[in-house]
Amino acid sequence: MINFYGLLAPLLYHLRGFFLKIKGLKGLYISY
């Protein structure tokens, strides 16, 4: 279970960064 979480945590972290990037791009697109 600990190994599974160890693999899942970085994945969720990268997904969060990806969504924040998309959100930022959407914000830039709307501000134009």
1-32 pLDDT, tens digit each: 667 788 888 899 999 999 999 988 887 777 65
**Percentages (nearest 5) of helix, strand, coil residues in the chain:** 95, 0, 5
Domain of 20 in residue numbering reads as: 1-32
Count: domains in the chain: 1
Residue type, 20: L
Give the pLDDT confidence score for residue 18 in this predicted structure: 92
Give the pLDDT confidence score for residue 16 in this predicted structure: 92
- Enter the pTM of the model: 0.52
20, with CB counted inside 10 A (0-12, 13-18, 19+), is exposed
